[in-house]
Chain A
């Protein structure tokens, strides 16, 4: 159970970081 929690947390944080990449890309004006 705890293993799932921490693995899930890792994947969530990486997903959030991917979100940061998308935000930075949008701010740069690469996407409309």
Chain B
């Protein structure tokens, strides 16, 4: 890595961290019902929404009512997106005349977008009509992120309030998250992306003449090309901001119409992590001690930086097989060097490896390079980031409530070690909270590993593993199930996933990974909210100190390593050893 590589990484981190406090403060105000500068314009809209939908904003739900509201809203969204895709051939805004999406793919896509995963077993420009993209997928991009944020805020209220039953109103949290946070940020970002050349149109695909006509495989002259366009900018903005990741086009943010310039790349990368990172500060504000937020953010950032370094080092080191073929992989002023297979020259090594780490720390899953072409250790970074549970910043809302499960476990174990009842922010952590936290840690691990095991045994799973000559094919399957078990959505695209087996299996993964974590999170909120607040004493473990940060990192890494090192040893680790053995 040269100096400019380090500067790019440092600049990205600096800008991200600078945005944490202002955005985090704003989001705290929104969720605490305090006045913001958007109230004058959006307040009447908010009240109108409550009036027409019959929502009583003053109603304070207990955790069970809140959880049922989350599920009802999501099941309706899932069915709507399913029906839209199945009927899209008969609906307007389909200038390319695309037919109905198959049932298994429709279901997989509906589950995917409703669960904030945005796993795509399809290429958008040849599968989805403009109406399906806008009314189905883009709407879910907003509300799935808002759902994650709502669950997080409910959990924070459970920590903050005491001897109470209510943890807020899901419909209010959903509305305020969408109206005051996601929509304004997405609108601004969409305009910035349009300024960079990201397409935003309802016109049909454009047929253009080739500058240099060619011939096809049969020798017939090819003089024209069809360029897929569409209302992409508006979808991409919320795709990144809401940690969704589902691209308008098949190659996602590697496509020049989705991500044309280094500046659009920087803006999109920043927008992937800005809300999850800022929500950690929001947490600190809402619990009345910003040191708590900074401590968790520090733990996240340390792990994040360590893995970026590994990814960049692995990719910049290049592929010895390419060297043997005479390919120059040495970095210079005119050569990015390293392993450029599957990467865009306008982004190079650093911005590809950085994006891969950002997108898999955030449960986003959008890609600006082909992860399947990464070096084994470079590909291990996004894989392991997801396997840690998408808690390094993580998804909007879901990242922090996942991280708080780790915090509960860390506090509990530390309490056992010193012989005191564990407590966190004034609330005793008891057996019930540990059971729920254990569910939140173990369910994604179970889904990833059991799914992978079934897929590499079942004939239907083996049939579309195209890389059969070594461990890479196994890694592709492990990646798919880890990605969906983490609601990430990125893929090692060498796996043929658009078939009933994978569409159904991965859909099951995404569903349970989302809702069987959200429910325990809300249950923890329901349990904590009824407890009394215990004043801190000399025996209380401080949870804002460097010691606790180190302890938390240790717990995260131990759980991740114990769970996945054996599987990683069968995939990327042995692949790395095989490549460098020659």
Instruction: List the interface of chain A (C-beta within 8 A of B).
Output: 2-3, 5-7, 9-11, 13-14, 17-18, 20-21, 24-25, 27-28, 30
Given contacts A5-B103, A21-B68, A28-B432, contact A14 B86 (CB under 8 A): no
Query: Is B519 touching A21 in the complex (CB atoms < 8 A)?
Result: yes
Per the bound structure, the CA–CA distance linking A24 and B394 in Å amounts to 25
Interchain CB contact (< 8 A) of A14 among B75, B106, B508: B75
Per the bound structure, the CA–CA distance linking A28 and B519 in Å amounts to 13
Is B515 an interface position by the 8 A CB rule? yes
Instruction: List the interface of chain B (C-beta within 8 A of A).
Output: 64, 67-68, 71, 75, 78-79, 82, 86, 103-104, 106-107, 110-111, 432, 435-436, 504, 508, 511-512, 515-516, 519-520, 523, 526-527
Query: Is B67 touching A21 in the complex (CB atoms < 8 A)?
Result: yes
Q: List 30 A-B contacts (CB under 8 A).
A: A2-B103, A2-B104, A3-B86, A3-B103, A6-B103, A6-B107, A7-B82, A10-B75, A10-B79, A10-B82, A10-B111, A13-B508, A13-B511, A13-B512, A17-B515, A17-B516, A18-B68, A18-B71, A21-B67, A21-B68, A24-B436, A24-B519, A24-B520, A24-B523, A25-B523, A27-B432, A28-B432, A28-B523, A28-B526, A28-B527
Minimum CB–CB distance from A1 to chain B (whole Å) comes to 9
Given contacts A17-B519, A28-B523, contact A10 B78 (CB under 8 A): yes
Q: Provide the residues of chain A in CB contact with B82, threshold 8 Å.
A: 6-7, 10
Q: Provide the residues of chain B in CB contact with A14, threshold 8 Å.
A: 71, 75
Given contacts A6-B103, A6-B104, contact A11 B75 (CB under 8 A): yes
Per the bound structure, the CA–CA distance linking A11 and B110 in Å amounts to 13
Q: Provide the residues of chain A in CB contact with B508, threshold 8 Å.
A: 13
Per the bound structure, the CA–CA distance linking A30 and B67 in Å amounts to 15
Q: Provide the residues of chain B in CB contact with A11, threshold 8 Å.
A: 75
Given A5-B103, A21-B71, 4 additional A-B pairs, CB 8 A: A3-B86, A10-B75, A13-B511, A18-B71
Q: Provide the residues of chain B in CB contact with A27, threshold 8 Å.
A: 432, 435
With most chain A CB atoms within 10 A of its CB, the pick from B68, B75, B432, B526 is: B75
- Least CB separation from A17: chain B residue: B515
- Least CB separation from B103: chain A residue: A2
Q: Provide the residues of chain A in CB contact with B106, threshold 8 Å.
A: 6
Chain B contact surface mostly:
helix
Per the bound structure, the CA–CA distance linking A3 and B103 in Å amounts to 6
- Least CB separation from A11: chain B residue: B75
Query: Is A10 touching B107 in the complex (CB atoms < 8 A)?
Result: yes
Query: Is B519 touching A20 in the complex (CB atoms < 8 A)?
Result: yes
- Least CB separation from A10: chain B residue: B78
Per the bound structure, the CA–CA distance linking A27 and B519 in Å amounts to 13
- Least CB separation from B106: chain A residue: A6
The 9 A-B pairs with the shortest beta carbon distances in the complex, nearest first, are A2-B103, A6-B107, A24-B523, A14-B75, A17-B515, A21-B67, A20-B519, A13-B511, A6-B103
Q: Provide the residues of chain A in CB contact with B432, threshold 8 Å.
A: 27-28
Q: Provide the residues of chain A in CB contact with B520, threshold 8 Å.
A: 24
With most chain B CB atoms within 10 A of its CB, the pick from A5, A24, A25, A28 is: A24
Q: Provide the residues of chain A in CB contact with B78, threshold 8 Å.
A: 10
- Least CB separation from B530: chain A residue: A28
Q: Provide the residues of chain A in CB contact with B511, threshold 8 Å.
A: 13
Q: Provide the residues of chain A in CB contact with B68, threshold 8 Å.
A: 18, 21
Query: Is B435 touching A7 in the complex (CB atoms < 8 A)?
Result: no
Query: Is B516 touching A20 in the complex (CB atoms < 8 A)?
Result: yes
Q: Provide the residues of chain B in CB contact with A7, threshold 8 Å.
A: 79, 82
